[in-house]
Amino acid sequence: MKKFLGNYGGSLIVAAVLFTFTLTALFNPLPIARAVGPTQTSYFITAPNGSDPCENPSVVKSSGSISVASATTTNLVTAVAGDFISVCKWQVYASGTAPTIQFEYGTDVSTACDTGATALMGAFPVATTTIVVNAPSDGLTLRTPVSQELCLVTGGSSTLSYVGYFTYVQAPY
């Protein structure tokens, strides 16, 4: 055999092993880990890419629209008992005088986020007639606590208009 393969025998064996390993990895990906949460009633699904639901390819993302025409608090995602909401990406176009946006969470008694309202970010000034996109990152941008709704607080004066979209994950804790 040595005479047949010559000096390339070792290289051919290594190449064959690497090829076999690559095919195995492609057709048999790492298993998804499943675990029960601390209350024994919640169920986590993680993937090899990490626990951030925005970065996890096995977690389905949803999207919502932003369309607000005044300075107000608007419910973007309704709370589900036992679920948290992770905002993965957002984009807003604003016009008017001194427009600002702010994401917050809370519960709804009579109006959006009227009880326990807590800011997820400071009031973000938006230059008039510009598009603002959150900066991509390796991690999660915003997350509500469990069983809280996600709201958008818009500010400013005189003929305000906010339009855009956001993507999010709503999942059990």
Query: For all residues of the chain together, what is the average pLDDT?
Result: 78
Q: What is the pLDDT of residue 158?
A: 85
Angle CA(90)–CA(91)–CA(93) in degrees, nearest 5?
A: 150
Among 44-48, 73-77, 80-84, the least confident range: 44-48
Mean pLDDT over 25-45 rounds to 46
Q: What is the pLDDT of residue 78?
A: 95
Name the token pair of 6. 């010559």
Confidence class for position 172, pLDDT limits 50, 70, 90: confident
Angle CA(152)–CA(153)–CA(157) in degrees, nearest 5?
A: 135
Q: What is the pLDDT of residue 31?
A: 45
Residue 59 has pLDDT above 50, yes or no: yes
Distance CA 71, CA 157 (A): 7
CA atoms within 13 A on the CB side of 74: 17
Scanning the chain, the segments in alpha helix (DSSP H) are 2-5, 9-27
For the full predicted model, state whether its pTM sits above 0.75: no
Scanning 2-137, the segments in alpha helix (DSSP H) are 2-5, 9-27
- Decide: 120 and 73 in contact? Cβ < 8 Å: no
Report residue 22: phi and psi, to 5°: -65, -45
Q: What is the pLDDT of residue 43?
A: 47
Confidence class for position 136, pLDDT limits 50, 70, 90: low
Name the token pair of 4. 């047949």
Confidence class for position 134, pLDDT limits 50, 70, 90: confident
Confidence class for position 57, pLDDT limits 50, 70, 90: confident
CA atoms within 13 A on the CB side of 48: 4
Confidence class for position 147, pLDDT limits 50, 70, 90: very high
